[in-house]
Amino acid sequence: MKRRDFIKYGWASVVGLGAARLGAQMHSESVPEQAGADITLKISPVIVQLDPNRAISTIGYNGASPGPVLHLREGKPVTVDVVNETDVPELVRWHGLFIPPEVDGSEEEGTPMVPAHGWRRYQFVPRPAGTRWYHTHTMAGFDLHRSTYTGQFGFVVVEAANNPGHYDQEVFLALREWEPFLTSEDMDEMEMGAIGLQPEKPAVPDRRQNGLEVGYRIFSINDKSLGAGEPIRVRAGQRLLIHVLNASATGNRSIAFAGHLFNVVALDGNPVATPKPVEVLALGPGERVDALVDMNRPGIWILGATKDDDRNDGMGILVEYANQHGDPQWVGPSKIQWDYTIFGPPAPRPAPDQTIDMVIEVVPGGPGNFNHWLINGKEYPHEREFVLKEGVRYRLIFHNRSDDAHPVHMHRHTFELAEVNGKKTSGVIKDTVVVPNYGRVSVDLVANQPGLTLFHCHNQQHMDFGFKALFRYA
């Protein structure tokens, strides 16, 4: 990003939504107030002003996208009224929470839809504590103007009774892209396959023609493209707590903070066993990272996508130390490799009671030239194939026999990583994990949340075309 770009964008004159102040957006002036609601979320068309010269029209929450940062108290019941001012039935999904299927926000599990031009009340007890998020969970199919392709997403922070809070400033950064289109290019940019071998790589390469994938024209962090919003303003000596969410419908992303390290303290909102400083964070859609950053290199820096095209197209934000001047600096990381296993000791996990193998395969180029996705040779719903017994400890083994990295997600539960491409770990608790291309990931799940439970790839296109399965309890 060059100096003239900043003059062109004139970001000082823009009323930016400072990431840390998203919470202040919460308002509901035109929403019919229902008695007794703690939070009212209005789903309606919004304009997102990405920079002074570019705005897009989409669907958001309470007049904005991202929606407000919702602060909930762990264990304290909450009532959320969702008012749907759009023409299509909607759902609000509470990602990362242990709540019943009726309010989880999944039609497959039986959560009722919020009718078009209607409203519905969600009541639940938020737990566990940590960085969660909320988003739509409808199908988009061939329509790239629906579901998670829209601006229906926001952070939820479930606060513990005793928050340690050893930081000076907290920021919420949602990675995002806009204006989706279909392309025959391979859009999977995750460089996570680097660790270990590719244990699921076929002996004979797959030469079938790949179907269309989703690309994007504009990128942002929260609702601003790089250089267009307010910078994160810091002072030397401060410690920043950064919450990162990949709110993309389909894209795996990597980010770096020039001149600084991310000390990763939690993944998907769950504290990791061994916090570690890293140069790069990689997140599949749906994943979150909480990291502490020591502000010890005064200057004006860019925090943004490691991929130059994505960053230059807007996925970044400036970090400005007090009393510093000059051009913002970008310094690419020395290596981009991401490895979940370093955040826990390499001790092997105890043997599970039972093992469930899930083989992921692609059927390239079906109707509309869209790929279809199979788990164990079948598309959704896998009626009665995955039946859990309460209290049993399962090891799920994801065999990814495709050339895409998949962010697989289990609703209403967390799991503990056991192995990534043969590398053992423990103490890394997540609800979404990216299975590298031709990779193998094993996770341990205790069946302790009875009720229908959806499993799916958090890539909207993959989910809509077969890559999901309904788990039930015996």
Stretch touching Cu ion by CB under 5 A, among 31-39, 73-81, 107-115, 460-468: 460-468
Cα separation, 398 vs 433, whole angstroms: 10
Residues in contact with Cu ion, shown as a per-residue x/- string from 183 to 222 under the rule CB under 5 A: ----------------------------------------
Find tokens 């599990």 and name the residue: 109
Shortest Cβ 462–Cu ion spacing (Å): 3
468 is a contact residue toward Cu ion (CB under 5 A): no
The helix or strand, by DSSP H or E, that contains position 220, with its residue range, turns out to be: strand 213-221
Q: For Cu ion, which is the closer residue by CB, 108 or 223?
A: 108
Question: Which of 93, 253, 456, 462 lies at the binding interface for Cu ion (CB under 5 A)?
Answer: 462
Shortest Cβ 286–Cu ion spacing (Å): 11
What's the start-to-end Cα distance of the chain, in Å? 56
Shortest Cβ 410–Cu ion spacing (Å): 14
Q: For Cu ion, which is the closer residue by CB, 182 or 342?
A: 182
Q: For Cu ion, which is the closer residue by CB, 440 or 462?
A: 462
How many other CB atoms sit within 10 Å of the CB of residue 135? 27
Q: For Cu ion, which is the closer residue by CB, 250 or 442?
A: 250
Shortest Cβ 408–Cu ion spacing (Å): 7
Residue 421 near residue 442 (C-beta atoms within 8 A): no
Number of residues interacting with Cu ion: please give it, by CB under 5 A: 4
Edge-first strand order for the sheet with 153-159 is 70-73, 153-159, 130-135, 93-95
How many other CB atoms sit within 10 Å of the CB of residue 186? 10
Site for Cu ion in 7-46 (CB under 5 A): none
Find tokens 């009532």 and name the residue: 79
Site for Cu ion in 350-369 (CB under 5 A): none
Q: For Cu ion, which is the closer residue by CB, 18 or 141?
A: 141
DSSP secondary structure of 12-78: GGS----GGGGGGG---TTS-PPTT-SEEEEEEEEEEEEETTEEEEEEEETTBSS-PPEEEETTS-E
Shortest Cβ 407–Cu ion spacing (Å): 7
Q: For Cu ion, which is the closer residue by CB, 399 or 406?
A: 406
Max CA-CA distance within the chain?
63
Cα separation, 352 vs 97, whole angstroms: 24
Q: For Cu ion, which is the closer residue by CB, 61 or 465?
A: 465
Instruction: State both tokens at 89.
Output: 């039935």
84, 85, 87, 92: CA torsion to nearest 10: -20
Instruction: State both tokens at 113.
Output: 């839809």
Residues 6+ apart with CB under 8 A from 248: 148, 175, 176, 177, 285
Shortest Cβ 362–Cu ion spacing (Å): 9
Residues in contact with Cu ion, shown as a per-residue x/- string from 265 to 304 under the rule CB under 5 A: ----------------------------------------
Site for Cu ion in 430-459 (CB under 5 A): 457, 459
Q: For Cu ion, which is the closer residue by CB, 67 or 407?
A: 407
Q: For Cu ion, which is the closer residue by CB, 285 or 344?
A: 285
Site for Cu ion in 375-434 (CB under 5 A): 406
Which residues form the interface with Cu ion (CB under 5 A)?
Answer: 406, 457, 459, 462
